[in-house]
Amino acid sequence: MANVVKILGIDISKSKFDVCISSSTSAYRHEVYSYDLPSMCRFVSQLDSRCHCVMEATGVYHLPLAFYLHDRGIRVSVVNPLSVKNFSRATMCRTKTDKSDARLLVEYARRMDSPAWTPPAKHYIRIQQMYRYMEHLQRELTAIHNQMEAIAFSPVYDAGMLSMMRRLCGCIQRQIDKIQLRISTLLTDADAQAVERIVSVPGVGRKTAIALLTATKGLDGFSSYRKLSSYLGLAPRTFLSGTSVKGKAHICKMGMGWIRKLLYLCAVSASRCNPICRPLYLRLRQKGKPPKLALIAVANKILKIICAINYKKQLFNPDFI
């Protein structure tokens, strides 16, 4: 931040983005641009390497402008919306408009650490899009199967309708198979090797391995498994205050729910077949811990093992000390 002269807070919506410009020599200035390529060109033309653009992560809407700024050498930070929301509460902000949100991002960047954003590899974005679409298809397939079972249980039903539903299930399953094949072709050699290391952990399947790599951008940027656990929302959250408030400990759930769901299912499997995780699960159950708590501990143990074998570039070894 030492070389930064101008801070720009950018509030992004689907059709436009509001910019609040602040520098050491001038007051706030607000500008509004249409969210299209000519407007982004006009906006970037007034920037230089001493500018720092700050925006919230808004699903996919922030990605076009974030990539455009990064490719042109402009420092850009993509911050967590929850952090900005809590910062707004701490500053007693009472206004909620696009203009005020852009200004709030400027104040956030001045007072809080806003590291430079590094774009994820484009094939990770494509894989994540395919994975979520595949999850949608699988939910649809499950719903149709359940409906078919309910209809077939009835003493009166239309056989032609069941035939159409079976054909629809076959079509959806073929689409899922094509997506899985496409995801395999998008993986780089380094990704494929990482997947093989992860699936060597008993209880972890290929689907979870690819999803974990995609969500964490190849497991890069995590110096310890604790940071990875916190990023995915599996870190424990203690709720204690004084002598009267003694709430139950829960996981923070401030991460990616779809990855936590997969890791939980892996923990169920690992608690039965993994030679390291099963003793942990049994020990916690013998101490009277609830099954879900024990499985969350197993999921964190799986993350710890994955981080270790990824760092050492070797397959899982149950006898490793």
Tell me: the pLDDT tens digits for 184-226? 888 888 888 889 999 999 999 998 999 898 888 888 777 788 8
Does residue 173 carry a pLDDT above 90? Answer: yes
pLDDT above 70 covers what percent of the chain?
Answer: 92
Backbone dihedral region for residue 120 (phi beyond 0: left; psi -120 to 50: alpha; all else: beta): beta
| Residue 124, H or E segment | helix 122-153
pLDDT at 65: 94
- The answer to whether 106 and 84 are in contact (CB under 8 A) is no
Q: Which of 2, 31, 46, 171 shows the shortest CA–CA distance to 103?
A: 31
SS3 28: coil
- The answer to whether 107 and 84 are in contact (CB under 8 A) is no
How many residues would you count in the chain?
321
Does residue 293 carry a pLDDT above 70? Answer: yes
pTM: 0.79
Q: Which of 229, 308, 242 shows the shortest CA–CA distance to 276?
A: 308
Over the stretch 135-145, which tens digit does the pLDDT of each residue have? 899 999 999 99
